[in-house]
Amino acid sequence: MTAFKKRIAILGSTGSIGTQALEVVAAHPDNFEVEVLTAQNNFELLVQQARRFKPNAIVIANEAHYPLVKAQLVAEPIKVYAGTNALDAVVQMDTVDLVLTALVGYSGLKPTMTAIQAGKTIALANKETLVIAGELITRLAREKGVNIYPVDSEHSAIFQCIVGEFHNKVEKIILTASGGPFRGKKRSDLKLITKAEALKHPNWTMGAKVTIDSASLMNKGLEVIEAKWLFGLSAEQVEVVIHPQSIIHSMVQFEDSSIKAQLGLPDMRLPIQFAMSYPERLKSDFPRFDFANYPALTFEKPDTETFRNLALAFEAINRAGNMPCVLNAANEVAVAEFLKDRIGFLEMSDIVEECLEKMDYVRNPGYEDFVNTDKETRIKAFELVNR
C-alpha cells in the first residue's frame, strides 16, 4: 500500500477509458481517490459516478445540462461546474495529483496543456494532444518537469519495455496493430462497408471514434506520431506490424539487436492502472494470459495501399509543422460524417488526403496556429463532404 492516496482527475470519465479507470480506482481504494470527474454530454452517468465516488468537483462541459446535474447532486457535498473553461480550472486544483486525460480528439489539447502548466503528472489517453502539438507539449512538459505516462496499450507496452533501460539507446520501436475487422480485404471489398461492420472490432472494446480509426488504420497512424513525441524518436524509428491476436502490445529493439516485448490479454485496465500507479505495479484480478491458448502468434506487414490512412500519417509527420494537426482535424470530421452515414468508408481517406494537399503549411506553429489550423481544416473537410 502506498503511503498516500493519489488524487485523480479523470477528464472524460463517462467514456470507455474513463469508466475503466474508475474500475481500477474501485479495485484499489487504498491507492487512489477520485478528486475530479468530467463529461461532455453523458450527464446521467456522470451523476451516477459522482454519487458513487464522491469527488471534490465535477464538470459537465455542455452547459445545457448544468441545471439538471446541479439539481440531482444538490444533496451531495460536490462542487458542480459547467463549460470548457471549467476543465481548465479543475485541472489546476491543488488537491489534484494526477490528471488522466481521456477526452476524445482535439478537445483534449487545451486542458492537457493547462494541467502541464500547473505541474500535474499526466496519464495520457488522448493521443490527439501529441498528434496535434507534440513538440509544444513535450517542450512544455520538460520546462515544467512534468511526467507524461502513456495509457494507450501500445505506448504503455513500450514504456514498460524501456523502464530500467533509459540509459540504453533505442534503435526502433515496433507498434503492433490487430488489423481491425477488415484485415486482408482489398479496396474493392471496402466500398460498401457499413458503420455497423466497421464498429465490430475483433479484440478490443472501445468508443465509436477509436473503433472506426482502428478499422481504417488511422488509429495506428496517430499512434506513430504519438510515439515519436513520447519517446523522442524519428518517424524512421517507428515500425508498424500487424499482429491479429493482440497479445504482444508492442516491442522495443535496442542497438545491440535485442528486442523486448510486453504481452498480455487485450484489457485496457492494465495500461490504465500502470499509468496511474507507476512506479508501482499493483496486484490485479485481470485475466491471465496462457500460452497454451495461443499456440501461434502471427505477424504481417500493413497494407498501406488499401488502408491509406497509415501512409498519410507518415506523410504528415514527415512534413511536420501543422500537418499532423490537419491530419487529425480532417479525420475527426471524416469519422463523424461516416458515423452519420453521410460518406463511405473509403471516402474518409480521400478527405484526409485532400486536406493535407490543400491546407496552408505552417513550419513552426504555436498554439494559436494549431487553433486556426484545426478550425480551417474542419471547414475544408465539411466542404469536401458536402461537395
Q: Taking the model in full, what pTM does it have? A: 0.92
User: What is the model's pLDDT at position 205?
Assistant: 67
Cell of 157: 507496452
For 257: left if phi > 0, alpha if psi spans -120 to 50, otherwise beta; the answer is left
CATH 1.10.1740.10 domain range(s) in the chain:
320-387
Q: Would you state the cell numbers that stand for residue 74, as one nine-digit string?
A: 444538490
Q: For 68-117, how does the pLDDT look when each residue is reduced to its tens digit (9 = 90+)?
A: 999 999 999 999 999 999 999 999 999 999 999 999 888 899 999 999 99
Length reported for the chain: 387
In this predicted structure, what is the pLDDT of residue 290?
A: 95
Helix axes 308-319, 323-339, angle to 10 degrees: 150
Q: H-type helices in the chain, by residue range?
A: 16-27, 43-53, 66-72, 84-90, 109-117, 128-144, 153-162, 187-190, 195-198, 208-216, 218-231, 269-277, 308-319, 323-339, 347-358, 367-386
Fold (topology level) of 320-387: Rna Polymerase Sigma Factor; Chain: A (1.10.1740)
CA distance 221 to 214: 9
- As given in the structure block, the three cell numbers for residue 217 are 488504420
- Residue span(s) of the chain under CATH 3.40.50.720 come to 6-150
* Under 8 Å between Cβ of 104 and 12: yes
pLDDT tens-digit readout, 152-199: 999 999 999 999 998 999 999 999 999 989 999 999 999 888 889 999
Q: What is the pLDDT of residue 3?
A: 60
pLDDT-flagged residues of the chain (< 50): 1-2
Which pLDDT score is estimated for 106? 86
Which CATH number does 6-150 carry?
Answer: 3.40.50.720
pLDDT at 387: 82
